[in-house]
Amino acid sequence: MKVLLKPKISFPEIEYYLDKFHERLAENSRIYKIVKKLTDKAFPSHQDKFDKRWEYFYLPIRRSGRIIALPFSVMEYKKEFFVSFHLFGGMHIKRGGAEAEQICKSIFSEATKFAPVFKKNEKLLEKLVPYDFRTGKIRGKYLMENVLSKKQKENILNIYEKHPAKNMSVKEISLNDYLKTAAICYKAAFSAKAKKLSPFEMYKKWADGRDNEMLSIKDGNSKKEFMEWLNTKAHAGGHPFEIVFSWRRHGIHLYPPSSSSPFYRLHVTNYAYASAFVKMAIELIKEKIPFEANELKEVLDYLAGETYFTVNDYSEHNFSYYPSAEHKKKYFPHIVWDSAKTIKWKKP
């Protein structure tokens, strides 16, 4: 099927008009009606009592001598529209008599004009949606400079599964017991920097800092005092067990034993600390500390490059693809691309 598209808007024009850091506001009833006409042609991708959302409308534009289709979404909230163009920015459309820039009018006029074309020939989008606006996935080994070998990963998992303290338990500890165990972790992960520090100093250097008065326990050797604090104040809003602080989400946690979990628990949230987490686990095994690290296999999968990163999408592990010569050669052959997504159109 031969389709003739002659879009009026160029890539530089829309790139210049939209601002990824500031939402463009158009209080113009004429533009509002055009957006309403476009959304009326399709079923919402999501709808609840607060808002409606339509994903994957497309705007044909000219870029570098060829025609491409840019995906965009529309949300209706309190009788106003919020439009989002991935990578470019957003627009807020509401009724009013204010003058709007011509390109704002053209965006929705063009999208509405060409909507029937994409409705009749959805396969056309596979050719027109550029890969920097498509989503997909790629294994970490194609992105990371260094990865664990399969043998290294299996060896670590093997020693963890067989470590002698795995079936041991400890129900009560003192503050000093906790800090000494944390110090084992610190020395494993930050050897040179931790070498001359006491367990107390290590904790003060790397932990979150909101210790919920844990460091104020009078008798550091008293199991009774620590367990009373643990049962009454440990979870009062701070992060006393985040032994490695992270500005992004959380870093590494070392939870103390309790009556319900009679062993330490090592946990990582920010995978920037994945290597440190593994070093800590290995050292706790060597020191025969009763502990669990339930995420160890998942973390090792990541370090071995087996974890998938999303491409041009938001997730814990993600990667942005650009249509450069380097990316085409280095990454494109390894990306598993998603099909160009389409909206569900209503019948005439």
Q: What is the mean pLDDT of residues 247-261?
A: 90
What pLDDT, in 10s, does the model give residues 97-108? 999 889 999 999
Residue 344 lies in a domain: no
β-strand partners of 22 = 19
Residue 112 lies in a domain: yes
Q: Residue 7 pLDDT > 80, yes or no? A: yes
What pLDDT, in 10s, does the model give residues 308-344? 999 998 888 999 999 899 999 999 999 999 998 899 9
**pLDDT confidence of 145, banded at 50, 70, 90?**
very high
pLDDT of amino acid 298: 96
Burial profile 218-247: b = 16 or more Cβ within 10 angstroms, e = fewer: eebeebeebbebbeebbeeebbbbbbbbee
Residue 312 lies in a domain: no
Terminal-to-terminal C-alpha distance of the chain:
21
Same domain assignment for residues 154 and 299? yes
Residue 139 lies in a domain: no
Contacts of 66 (CB under 8 A, 6+ apart): none
Residue 217 lies in a domain: yes
Same domain assignment for residues 262 and 296? yes
Residue 49 lies in a domain: yes
DSSP letter string, 156-194? HHHHHHH-TTTT-------HHHHHHHHHHHHHHHSHHHH
Q: Residue 1 pLDDT > 60, yes or no? A: no
Residue 334 lies in a domain: no
pLDDT of amino acid 316: 86
Q: How far is Cα 274 from Cα 57, in angstroms, rounded to an integer?
A: 39
Residue 316 lies in a domain: no
Q: What is the mean pLDDT of residues 4-15?
A: 89
Q: What is the three-class DSSP state of 42?
A: strand
Q: How many domains does the chain have?
A: 2
